[in-house]
A and B are shown apart, each in its own frame.
Chain A
Amino acid sequence: MEEHLVDWSRAQFALTVMYHWIFVPLTLGLGFIVAIMETIYLKTGSQLWKKTTKFWMTLFAINFAIGVATGIIMEFEFGTNWANYSWFVGDIFGAPLAIEGVLAFFMESTFFAVMYFGWEKVGKKFHLLSTWLVAIGSNLSALWILVANGWMQNPIGMTFNPDTVRNEMVDFWSIILSPIATSKFLHTISSGFVMGSLFVVGVSAWYLLKNRDVAFAKNSILVGASFGLIVSLFLAFNGDESGHQVAVKQPMKLAAMEGLYEGKTEAGLVAAGILNPNKTATNDESEFLVKVEIPYALSILSYRDPKAFVPGIKDLVYGNEEYKIMSVKEKMQKGKIALASLEAYKEAKKEKNEQKALQARQTLEENMQYFGYGHLKNVEDVIPPVATTFYAFHIMVSLGGWFVALFALLLFFSIKKDIQKYKLLLLSALWSIPLGYIAGEAGWVVAEVGRQPWAIQDLMLVGTATTHIATTNVIISFWLFALLFTLLLIAEIKIMLKQIKIGPEGEH
């Protein structure tokens, strides 16, 4: 496979997903915040809360409308750029996406209409129910695609059928309830909730700085900061669980996240640091130019034991007998056996030699978990881009910490003081809106760059997954998508800003 093509296909998918992820988190979070605000309106009967709800609902609609269908491009790309992959994953990927289409999409779109058109036409309680169902439906949409992504990170609940060259689902619930999928879902939607909260407190802070719509802005900050504090604390708690799952299922990703080349017991977690750019798995240079470490924290995070051994990149590539870690070289041998068995099976079937086919199938099944290693050229190819993964992880975690502090401060000053007097805090809230997007994108960089070179962990390389199409086609479509998404983003920002300037008293 031409490397140029693989890189462009990769870049195109990354571009699509990263732009898609600009729109999604706000939808996930703002939906629930609007539902909370409407609940308060129903409880209090206050017209201010009604106006507050309608204002944020309009911004929710703008974001939803601009973002809708950007995800369809990804599904389109699966068929065109990643045809080998799409076939290989079979119904495991297809089933969750189909459920998403049927259940969540219809749920969202039906109640979306009631939410916007039904203010004076349906009962207040039914309207509120619709708002909650739109919020829940949006998050259910995310569930299915994240289950599919979780399976790619930890492929379970399936069996490979050599006749069809597809993986077939044998245990739906183990795929849905896989620890990687559940922690990924919770981590992702809660990051969306944090984004929604940051957006609400940031925009409200702007009103307070401008000294307009003060009561509305204070109400909004109170809801945004309360919700934000709860979900950002949950995000941190769940991030710990995600880290543990990564350590167990994708130890190479964890090693890259921490820039850990040499495995160690009682491993410390790098709180901040600068990687040595000259460090590779094949030299003995030091890993960091400078770093600040939290003692034992990496061992605790990884295996819930302060003395646990955390394998480094070198252990995972070259093996470690003491800790029973198989080398990539050995895995490559098993992978090549798996590929040869598949070939032998197909030949035996053609010759109608059932005995030979059975033997080949047994050997294939014994080595199937290393299938993807058969396509590797060098043992070091399993190392993901360490610097990108490390810095993205630390940016995400640092910003996550800042968001907890920001929400706590906003909540404290909202309740105990006149928050409008604290300009620096309000400015911080306003400027934290882009930081929320950066944190969310960084999280996806960790998840996806950190698992390179795999499209499906241990089973299929990105290079194998790519369709053999003209590189020019991919380059043209890359730039067309880039243009389209940039125009959509500009449109969203312009319409949002216009609506924010109009404020809660204007028409929606």
Chain B
Amino acid sequence: MESFKKIYNFYFDGFKNMVVGKTLWKIIVIKLLLILVILNYFVYDKSLKTQYKTEQEKSDFVYKNLIRSN
């Protein structure tokens, strides 16, 4: 328990005393939001993962593309 408290305080004090780090964290959060949420949901609505459920369907899809490109 004592160890967990020490680790908690270590991070708590670290984050509390950050100077440049606060700005950097804001940038990281905004960036991740843009990358993972906006682009994922608004730009790409289809991919091999979402379009096909089984491994067989995915394999057939790629196979057809390989043969079609011939």
CA gap between A374 and B44 in the complex, in Å: 30
* Given A87-B62, A488-B27, A508-B19: A80 and B47 interface contact (C-beta under 8 Å): yes
* Given A76-B40, A342-B67, A480-B39: A84 and B28 interface contact (C-beta under 8 Å): no
Could you tell me if B63 and A346 are in contact, using CB atoms closer than 8 angstroms? yes
CA gap between A52 and B33 in the complex, in Å: 34
Query: How many residues of A sit at the interface, in one of the four size bands?
Result: 35 or more
A230 at the interface (CB under 8 A from B): no
* Given A488-B27, A495-B23: A84 and B14 interface contact (C-beta under 8 Å): no
Partner of B66, one of A62, A83, A339: A339
A79–chain B nearest beta-carbon distance, Å? 5
Mostly, the B contact residues are: helix
B8–chain A nearest beta-carbon distance, Å? 12
Nearest residue (CB) in B for A474 is: B43
B53 at the interface (CB under 8 A from A): no
Contacts of A68 in B (CB 8 A): 28
How many residue-residue contacts, CB under 8 A, span A and B? Answer: 113
A177 at the interface (CB under 8 A from B): no
Query: How many residues of B sit at the interface, in one of the four size bands?
Result: 35 or more
CA gap between A76 and B10 in the complex, in Å: 34
Contacts of B35 in A (CB 8 A): 69, 72-73, 76, 484
Could you tell me if A116 and B69 are in contact, using CB atoms closer than 8 angstroms? no
CA gap between A469 and B65 in the complex, in Å: 13
Could you tell me if B24 and A62 are in contact, using CB atoms closer than 8 angstroms? yes
CA gap between A79 and B36 in the complex, in Å: 13
Contacts of B36 in A (CB 8 A): 72
B residues contacting A by CB (< 8 A) are: 10-11, 13-15, 17, 19-21, 23-25, 27-28, 31-32, 34-36, 38-40, 43-44, 46-49, 55, 58-59, 61-63, 65-67, 69-70
10 additional contacts (CB under 8 A) given A61-B24, A65-B27: A62-B20, A69-B28, A79-B47, A87-B59, A87-B62, A117-B11, A121-B13, A163-B59, A464-B69, A473-B44
Q: Could you name 5 residue pairs across A and B whose Cβ atoms are closer than 8 Å? A: A1-B69, A76-B35, A84-B65, A164-B59, A464-B69
Closest 3 A/B residue pairs (Cβ): A117-B14, A65-B24, A83-B48
